[in-house]
């Protein structure tokens, strides 16, 4: 059972799933193409919804989208779109489903050009996490100039559901930007690891 008494960022609730996500994943640098693609799709699926809603559906997404294997997803056609739209375990929004497929195709093009999604995404932060030192949740921005730049570049490359706010959430989730507030128990550990 998770320690619910630890000081955490103010956005996390007391659900075990959410606590584990905050404590073990959020803000930890992700340097794996499949995992980066997973976060990109899940952050896009979140548009207009809460992250908690998507987190509860995450395992269903992993099954429905074959482990977020973007090579496989890139081959999806209308039969797959219908299968996904009929799946009650995910957000059944045609625009979001077709965007995931288009994003898989765009991810293949990015991988071909840059060698990997990791090299492409981490290039935006010079391969080093940006460590912020927010003292309260109210200081954490919804987007930044970096997120705007990433969003523009992704759209230019054919990605969808990648607005600046989604991109900033993606950067936070994957540890390219570390936004745990300074009072959160995860801040010091991630700050120390990023500095070494």
32 is in an annotated binding site: no
Nearest to 39 by CA among 4, 70, 82, 11: 70
Indicate the SS3 state at residue 70: helix
Closest CA to 94 of 109, 105, 83, 107: 83
| Opening angle at CA 176, ends 27 and 109, nearest 5 | 125
Active site residue 11: no
Please tell me whether 191 is known to bind a ligand: no
Q: How far is CA 39 from CA 8, 46, 132, 172, 193, in A?
A: 21, 10, 21, 10, 22
Q: Which of 2, 11, 21, 52 is catalytic?
A: 21
Active-site pick, 18, 26, 51, 187: 51
Residue of 38, 43, 122, 134 marked catalytic: 43
Annotation says 187 is catalytic? no
Active site residue 43: yes
Q: Is 167 one of the annotated binding-site residues?
A: no
Residue 133 known to bind ligand? no
- List the binding residues for Zn(2+): 9, 22, 180, 184
Q: Report, as residue numbers or ranges, the catalytic residues.
A: 21, 43, 51
């Amino acid at each position: 059972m998770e320690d619910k008494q630890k000081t955490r960022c103010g956005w996390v609730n007391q659900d075990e799933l959410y606590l584990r996500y905050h404590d073990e994943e959020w803000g930890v640098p992700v340097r794996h193409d499949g995992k980066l693609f997973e976060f990109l799709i899940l952050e896009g699926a979140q548009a207009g919804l809460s992250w908690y809603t998507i987190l509860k559906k995450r395992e269903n997404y992993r099954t429905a989208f074959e482990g977020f294997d973007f090579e496989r997803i890139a081959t999806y056609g209308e039969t797959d779109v219908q299968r996904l739209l009929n799946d009650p375990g995910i957000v059944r929004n045609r625009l979001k489903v077709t965007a995931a497929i288009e994003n898989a195709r765009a991810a293949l093009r990015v991988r071909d050009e840059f060698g990997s999604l990791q090299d492409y995404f981490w290039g935006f932060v010079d391969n080093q996490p940006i460590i912020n030192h927010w003292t309260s949740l109210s200081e954490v921005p919804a987007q930044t100039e970096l997120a705007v730049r990433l969003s523009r570049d992704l759209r230019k490359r054919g990605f969808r559901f990648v607005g600046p706010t989604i991109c900033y959430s993606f950067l936070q989730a994957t540890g390219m930007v570390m936004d745990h507030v300074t009072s959160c128990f995860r801040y010091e550990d991630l700050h120390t690891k990023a500095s070494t």
